[in-house]
Amino acid sequence: MRFTTYSKYTGHFLESLNLQELLDKLADFLLQSGFAGGPYYHPFWGEFGGDEAPDSLEALKEAILRKLLEMGHVTPEMLQALGEDPNAEGARQLAELLDDIVRQLIEEGYLATEQVPQLPSEGQPVTGPGSVGKGAARSVQFNLTQKGLDFLGYKTLKHLLGAVGKSSFGAHDTAELSTGVEAEASSKPYEFGDTLNLDVPATLKKAIERQGLGVPIELDYGDLHVHQAEYRSSCATVLMLDCSHSMILYGEDRFTPAKKVALALAHLIRTQYPGDTLRVVLFHDSAEEIPLAQLARAQVGPYHTNTSEGLRLARRILLAQKTDMRQIIMITDGKPSAMTVSPGRIYKNSLGLDPAILKETYREVAMCRRSGIQINTFMLARDYALVEFVKKVSELCRGKAYFTSTVTLGQYIMMDFLRRKVRRVQ
């Protein structure tokens, strides 16, 4: 006689864990900007930053464990019990659980890994603390994939819009009228180059007025009328991010929120403003453009703030864009403290506002204005001297200045981007 034994199905932990929710909570860790990394050394501030590689799998597992504690999936009592006996079965299961979560994130396409070759040092043990096995585990690094970046951009955008309130999407509104498929105004006589979206009743009426009622109706070129729609304008945006040392000093990470805003803007432009472009420029001792896909790994270093070089590079990028509108969104927390004297030569002065550096910076701001480029500055500090500097920049380029914090930075930028009414640049 055959017997079948049934047992209670408990399921796997991953079946009840929302990976996307976990990934959203890991955003600050995945986009960290060197606030917990390093070390960096500066001749004035000294060494800052830690020794742990922030992009190793070991660091990722520690971050996942902390988030599981915050989410209530793992309790402090469970960790305390496991800590009393690291060789217990529960500790092994917890290690396997963390491995499974990392593996699932990789299989879902949010993360990718790469092996960094490391040679064992002389006399290094094979097992135990400081062993070859532990070193090999730390040498495996991870990075966000395009899917992971897009997901974090979407979640950040959702959080920001939730904080801002209801915002209607669409292309940038202007005061101009054009001929399009969507009729939003009265029709007009057809002109060469218009979209041939005929207003049939107006066309027939014009023909009848010209030749009288009769059959057949002969249409002439002057009879043609087309529908008008509101002119939709495209915009090229360069996001200038300050990655000088001050962005992670004084006990606050100011660079990671800026990166999150950049990802949210990229997702918004890709999904709602397909005619727009977004480019990212990092400025420090000098300036360089980075692909959006590399933004997650960008970090702050022991640099000064070469604002003029950043504006110069942003202006060159925007002038190459064939769009109606061009704008620079500059996020910074400090005064300009460096300028490029000649190729390869940088003049630096961290003490106060140097008149020579200010003059060069204002010159680049004026060049942007003459090129039809608007500069919107988001300042993460409120020192009197910096306030005056930002006011001067806004006055020169007729742009906007926002004095904000890391908490409200994203809300200010999204409100400025979504709610502003812009005119077509003639």
Overall average pLDDT of the 235-251 stretch:
84
Q: Residue 82: pLDDT band by 50, 70, 90 thresholds?
A: low
Asked whether residue 223 falls in the same domain as residue 254, the answer is no
In a domain, 4, yes or no: no
In a domain, 3, yes or no: no
Q: Could you please report the per-residue DSSP string of 156-181?
A: HHHHHHHHH-----SSBP-S-EE--S
Asked whether residue 366 falls in the same domain as residue 377, the answer is yes
Are 105 and 111 in contact, with CB atoms under 8 Å apart? yes
Asked whether residue 88 falls in the same domain as residue 67, the answer is yes
In a domain, 193, yes or no: yes
In a domain, 102, yes or no: yes
CATH, residue 238: 3.40.50.410
Asked whether residue 184 falls in the same domain as residue 269, the answer is no
pLDDT > 90? residue 370:
yes
- Spell out a b/e string for 243-260, using b for 16 or more CB atoms within 10 Å of the CB, else e: bbbbbbbeeebbbbbbbb
Higher pLDDT, 46 or 273: 273
Q: Residue 36: pLDDT band by 50, 70, 90 thresholds?
A: low
Asked whether residue 126 falls in the same domain as residue 249, the answer is no
pLDDT > 60? residue 237:
yes
**pLDDT tens, residue by residue, 294-339:** 888 888 888 899 999 999 999 999 999 888 789 898 988 878 999 9
Overall average pLDDT of the 289-293 stretch:
90
Asked whether residue 242 falls in the same domain as residue 292, the answer is yes
Asked whether residue 160 falls in the same domain as residue 221, the answer is no
User: Full-prediction pTM beyond 0.85?
Assistant: no
pLDDT of residue 55: 73
In a domain, 123, yes or no: yes
pLDDT > 70? residue 98:
yes
CB atoms within 10 A of CB 113: 14
Asked whether residue 133 falls in the same domain as residue 220, the answer is no
Cα torsion at 397, 402, 407, 412 (round to 10°)?
A: -80
Asked whether residue 205 falls in the same domain as residue 264, the answer is no
Asked whether residue 106 falls in the same domain as residue 162, the answer is no
In a domain, 8, yes or no: no
Overall average pLDDT of the 161-183 stretch:
48
225: domain range? 177-230
Overall average pLDDT of the 130-152 stretch:
70
Asked whether residue 238 falls in the same domain as residue 384, the answer is yes
For the ranges 6-15, 197-206, 342-351, the lowest mean pLDDT is seen at 6-15
Range among 101-110, 252-261, 358-367, 411-420 with highest mean pLDDT value? 358-367
Mean pLDDT of the chain: 76
Share of residues in the chain with pLDDT > 90 (%): 15
For the ranges 159-163, 178-182, 186-190, 340-344, the lowest mean pLDDT is seen at 178-182
In a domain, 7, yes or no: no
Total domain count for the chain? Answer: 3
In a domain, 78, yes or no: yes
**Phi then psi dihedrals of residue 200, to 5 deg:** -60, -50
Report the C-alpha gap between 55 and 26 in whole angstroms: 13
3-state DSSP call for residue 125? coil
Asked whether residue 135 falls in the same domain as residue 194, the answer is no
